[in-house]
Amino acid sequence: MRYVFSVLVLSGLLLALPNLAVSGSDQTGIHGGQVRAVGPYHLELVAKDGELQLYVTDQNNRNKIQTKGGSARANISNNDENQVRVDLEPVFGNLMRGSGDFKITPETTVSVLVATSLEKDTHVARFDSLTSQNTPAEATDNDDDHDEDTHESESSDDDD
């Protein structure tokens, strides 16, 4: 009887774990975008009409993953069945940016394929229920002091 009870509890946990993981995937990131966990990374997508910004961090969302040498592509689609493809280029630090002729609506879905220079795998994340976002602090090229050796010693109070 105890064995049957243990199996039922374990089965219930296994069924509940994917739901817990999905519920945590609609987080808002520090730049105001949606966050998705893919492979060993967290991706934060900040979407505005005509512009996408993608921030890449580690699984713990603590360390910035350098995007230099990496690549990403976003497929943007709305209910009108128009699809726009935007290439995201590394800008500096953990930021990739791309622009194109598109509007962000609540029906917009953005699928992002990303590959970093750290590994050969390509990871895919899907962002939906988007609204056009204005980032709390616009990313500028002056923030280019983020490199792999300094991410742990950076202060978390960047009030630029």
Give the chain's mean pLDDT: 75
Q: What is the CATH number of the domain that holds 99?
A: 2.60.40.2480
- Residue pLDDT, tens place only, 115-159: 988 887 899 999 998 776 543 334 434 343 333 333 333 333 444
Identify whether 152 is part of a domain. no
Identify whether 14 is part of a domain. no
Cα 99 versus chain centre, distance: 17
Identify whether 83 is part of a domain. yes
- Residue pLDDT, tens place only, 30-68: 999 999 999 999 999 999 999 999 999 998 888 999 999
Number of domains in the chain: 1
CB 96 within 8 A of CB 54: yes
Identify whether 110 is part of a domain. yes
Mean predicted confidence (pLDDT) in 68-93: 92
Percentage above 70 pLDDT, the chain:
66
Q: For residue 27, what are its two tokens?
A: 């987080």
Q: For position 2, what pLDDT does the model report?
A: 61
